[in-house]
Structure 1
Amino acid sequence: MSSRDQAAAAALAQAAVACDGAFLGIAIAVLAVRTWLRFRFSSSALSKIRNAPTVRVSDLTTLLHDSSSSDDDDSSDGKLVVVRGQVQSKSSVNGNWMSLKDDVLVSPSSGDRAVVVQQTQAYLYNEWRGLFRWTYDLHSLFARSWKEQESSSLRTVPFILIEGGYWPRSGYVVVNLSDSVHPIPLTTVYHQLRPVQASPYTFLQAMFGHEYPVGLLDEEKILPLGKEITAVGICRSQDGVPEIKSCKDLPYFLSDMTKDQMVGNLAFRTKILLWSGIFLGTLSFGILGYAITRNWCRWKEWRHQRQRIREQRDEATVENSADNESGDAPDGELCVICLMRRRRSAFVPCGHLVCCATCAMSVERDSNPKCPVCRQTIRTSIRIYAS
């Protein structure tokens, strides 16, 4: 590990354990809050998908008609449903359904007919520690990812979901992909890794420990006709035709999984997030509690130490003054406790002038300070100076 990385690791370690781990506790607390927010999102999505009815494509028109008749206010917002059907081009319902001249896409590599075609070219980078940086260090953790997307193209045509085996007599539902950020269940039909020819510049990059490309990955994914998928979204009637659209509050829209698989996957994820949030919250609470307690004790110790230093300084001052006053004095003016120094401190509130400054300070520090003459509880003492 280089000196720069050693300094970075030491700085990270010091920041993590600063104030007895307070910063580490705060970071874990933030992670716990994010985990709890994800848990709430997954729990809400699980409840919505579990309560959403599973409807056949042929029954969507009847369901939407019944819901609009029962509540006209909610009919414009649509209804959350789970529909499973086969992919078909929308152009097949505009003309003759027997026609093969549908508006579909053709895969350039496999020749399959599809409604979605995604082509991706990505360079694969490698990091090798060369002549001057041959060891692994912290810099590699924050370096560029192994796979860098260079170019990606996505082509789509309008498509629908039909009920397999009953088309065209059954109905269909139009899939609306607008404003959807959910992934599409694509099928990989082409996958090829081509090596990149090395150059003298690549050799210099490898020698000095920099990144260099090792291959070019070409991929092509399609959504073919006839593929059976599940759609989970808001379904509404558009000009008498059912249309389904993605819901932003759900992690799924189009998927290969069935409703039961989605519910099982979400239930497992929700349980993991729940226990992770509990563990992280408890851990952060323990670390922050320990840090607060330790810093509070340190602050009290620091305050006590400062008070002790101040008292020692006062004692030294009193002793110096007492040394100056330890000369000959009449018997009636000697301290009643030490019988060595002159009486200089009067107790409050009784007002008896019977002790020197040193003995008066020792009386004040008792757990129950009392005047040695009248035995009245005292609060403090006052130094008396003779003019």
Structure 2
Amino acid sequence: MSSHEQALASLVTQLAFSFDGAVLGVALAYAAVRSFLKFAAGSKALGKIRAAPVLRVSDLRSLLDAPPPQSDQEANSELDRSSISDRKLVIVRGQVEANSAVDGSWKSSLRPNVLVSHESGDKAVVIQRTQTCLYNEWKGFFGWTSDIRAIFGKSWREQESMSLRTVPFVLLETGKWPQSEYVVINMDASRHPLPLTTVYHQLQPIDASPYTFLQALFGHEYPVGLLDEEKILPIGKEITAIGMCGSRSGIPEISPCRDLPYFLSDMTKDQMVLDLGFKTKVLLWSGIALGSLSAGILSYAFVRNWSKWKLWRQQRLSQQSREETSDPPLLDSEEDVTDVPDGQLCVICLMRRRRSAFIPCGHLVCCQVCAISVERESSPKCPLCRQLIRNSIRIFDT
């Protein structure tokens, strides 16, 4: 670790442990609250998944009450824009198939609406292509800024561009063809991960150029490789759909539920329950551990700062009372201002006799009035040796 990294790490550590660890305690408390909120959401989703029935595709029509058909064109368009009626949370496992395969129109038979992978040639309903440019940082002669950035992030930088193409698809009951019963998958407003299969993965190195050498010399990022990856949801894959099922124009349709972490998955219901149950337990115990640790740190910080504040206030009150009660001392005799040899005059006022010696340096250079004024300064120092003083003492002649 370089000197810049050590300095920044020391600064971050001092910030975290400032106010006797109060900042660290607040950060841990925030993480604990986040863990408990995620645990509550996960527990709610787990309860919904356990209560959701597992149905076959052919059982959906008997479960839902289909709306009556309407012949009026305006009524049909209004029905298409309306939300799905009689929405119920169900779990359906079936086989992926393009919507054009069950559409039944002559256009779909001539031009099937499916996607074809450019790399593997497989037919799919979802194709995700990702191109990632990998960057590297070399800490060059003038690249001290990269040392600071290395504290918060990896030395490898990634910049990716992703394209996602989808076509309407349905789920068919596994092992039966031709299919008369199917359920439409509605992907609108879905941010859930998809069970995609990787069919292409290749890393191509990028040749260095003179400009790359200059970038490395001055500590800037420069590209080192290009990663191409293609994932698809192939036709014929068996997946599980969990979501709100309703009927649109007499056809069952499943849409995602925002309260659930799954929509389309390779897992069965039992596997989802086990996976989500383990995650909720981890979140619960993480929240308990972080909350206990933050409570201990905050309690310690509160006690320490409260004690420091009481001590500071006590010292402040005593100093104020001392300043209010200590008036400038009266002159002992007329000899303090008359007939004083030059070698015994106060070095500050040059009027009175030297009467007070400073502690700890011991210099006898000031009168009692000037010594008290020096003590009341924010940083009292001896006028002769400039050493910090704690107090002064009155010297009496025999």
Q: Which residue of 1 aligns with 2:100?
A: 91
Contact kept, 8 Å, 1:163 with 1:170, in 2: the verdict is: no
Q: Deviations over 1:46-80 (max 9, x none)?
A: 111111111111111111139x9xxxxx9835000
Q: Which residue of 1 aligns with 2:90?
A: 81
Identity among equivalent pairs (%): 62
Q: Which residue of 2 aligns with 1:239?
A: 249
Q: Which residue of 2 aligns with 1:360?
A: none
Residue 9 of structure 1 and its aligned partner are, at CA, apart by 2.8
Q: Quote the Cα distance in structure 2 between the aligned partners of 1:143 and 1:283.
A: 26
Shift in CA distance, 146/182, structure 1 to aligned 2, threshold 3 Å: farther
Q: Quote the Cα distance in structure 2 between the aligned partners of 1:135 and 1:26.
A: 29
Residue 300 of structure 1 and its aligned partner are, at CA, apart by 1.3
Residue 241 of structure 1 and its aligned partner are, at CA, apart by 0.7
Alignment match of 1:255 (pick from 261, 265, 288): 265
Residue 99 of structure 1 and its aligned partner are, at CA, apart by 5.8
Aligned-pair RMSD on alpha carbons?
A: 3.0
Is 1:299 aligned to residue 309 of structure 2? Answer: yes
What secondary structure, in the 3-state scheme, does the structure 1 residue paired with 2:317 have? helix
Structure 1 length-normalised TM:
0.74
Contact kept, 8 Å, 1:172 with 1:242, in 2: the verdict is: yes
Shift in CA distance, 33/43, structure 1 to aligned 2, threshold 3 Å: same
Is 1:216 aligned to residue 229 of structure 2? Answer: no
Q: Deviations over 1:150-174 (max 9, x none)?
A: 4322111110000111233451100
Residue 186 of structure 1 and its aligned partner are, at CA, apart by 0.9
Q: Which amino acid aligns with 2:87?
A: G
Contact kept, 8 Å, 2:95 with 2:236, in 1: the verdict is: yes
Q: Quote the Cα distance in structure 1 between the aligned partners of 2:4 and 2:205.
A: 34
Q: Which amino acid aligns with 1:242?
A: P
Q: Quote the Cα distance in structure 2 between the aligned partners of 1:145 and 1:81.
A: 46
Structure 2 length-normalised TM:
0.72
Q: Which residue of 1 aligns with 2:34?
A: 34
Q: Deviations over 1:269-327 (max 9, x none)?
A: 00000011111111111111111111111111122223333455567559x68x99xxx
Q: Which amino acid aligns with 1:244?
A: I
Q: Deviations over 1:239-263 (max 9, x none)?
A: 1110000011111101111111111
Q: Quote the Cα distance in structure 2 between the aligned partners of 1:93 and 1:207.
A: 61
Q: Quote the Cα distance in structure 1 between the aligned partners of 2:23 and 2:181.
A: 59
Q: Which amino acid aligns with 1:127?
A: E
Alignment of 1:294-333 (within 5 A): 294-310=304-320, 312=322
Q: Which residue of 2 aligns with 1:55?
A: 55
What secondary structure, in the 3-state scheme, does the structure 2 residue paired with 1:209 have? coil
What secondary structure, in the 3-state scheme, does the structure 1 residue paired with 2:195 have? coil
Residue 127 of structure 1 and its aligned partner are, at CA, apart by 2.1
Q: Which residue of 1 aligns with 2:396?
A: none
Which has the higher mean CA deviation after the structures are superposed, 205-214 or 86-95? 205-214
Which has the higher mean CA deviation after the structures are superposed, 48-57 or 142-151? 142-151
Q: Quote the Cα distance in structure 2 between the aligned partners of 1:106 and 1:42.
A: 37
What secondary structure, in the 3-state scheme, does the structure 2 residue paired with 1:125 have? strand
Q: Which amino acid aligns with 2:318?
A: R
Shift in CA distance, 163/90, structure 1 to aligned 2, threshold 3 Å: same
Alignment of 1:1-387 (within 5 A): 1=1, 4-65=4-65, 76-95=85-104, 102-133=112-143, 137-143=147-153, 146=156, 148-169=158-179, 171-310=181-320, 312=322
Unmatched tracts of structure 2, length 5 or more = 69-82, 334-398
Q: Quote the Cα distance in structure 1 between the aligned partners of 2:96 and 2:20.
A: 59
Contact kept, 8 Å, 2:65 with 2:86, in 1: the verdict is: no
Q: Quote the Cα distance in structure 2 between the aligned partners of 1:236 and 1:50.
A: 20
Q: Quote the Cα distance in structure 2 between the aligned partners of 1:100 and 1:148.
A: 43
Q: Which amino acid aligns with 1:12?
A: V
What secondary structure, in the 3-state scheme, does the structure 2 residue paired with 1:65 have? coil
Q: Quote the Cα distance in structure 1 between the aligned partners of 2:320 and 2:98.
A: 89
Q: Which amino acid aligns with 1:42?
A: G
Q: Quote the Cα distance in structure 2 between the aligned partners of 1:89 and 1:156.
A: 10
Contact kept, 8 Å, 1:31 with 1:280, in 2: the verdict is: yes
Residue 144 of structure 1 and its aligned partner are, at CA, apart by 7.0
Q: Quote the Cα distance in structure 2 between the aligned partners of 1:201 and 1:185.
A: 41
What secondary structure, in the 3-state scheme, does the structure 1 residue paired with 2:17 have? helix
Q: Quote the Cα distance in structure 2 between the aligned partners of 1:79 and 1:19.
A: 53
Shift in CA distance, 58/145, structure 1 to aligned 2, threshold 3 Å: farther
Contact kept, 8 Å, 1:228 with 1:256, in 2: the verdict is: yes
Q: Quote the Cα distance in structure 2 between the aligned partners of 1:128 and 1:90.
A: 51
Unmatched tracts of structure 1, length 5 or more = 69-73, 325-387
Q: Quote the Cα distance in structure 2 between the aligned partners of 1:168 and 1:227.
A: 16
Q: Deviations over 1:74-112 (max 9, x none)?
A: 983500011111100111112279968532111111111
Give the number of equivalent residue pairs.
317
Shift in CA distance, 57/227, structure 1 to aligned 2, threshold 3 Å: same
Q: Which amino acid aligns with 2:114?
A: V
What secondary structure, in the 3-state scheme, does the structure 2 residue paired with 1:165 have? coil
Contact kept, 8 Å, 1:126 with 1:146, in 2: the verdict is: yes
Q: Which amino acid aligns with 1:205?
A: Q
What secondary structure, in the 3-state scheme, does the structure 1 residue paired with 2:64 have? helix
Which has the higher mean CA deviation after the structures are superposed, 158-167 or 297-306? 297-306
Residue 116 of structure 1 and its aligned partner are, at CA, apart by 0.9
Q: Which residue of 2 aligns with 1:331?
A: none
Q: Deviations over 1:31-52 (max 9, x none)?
A: 1111111111111111111111
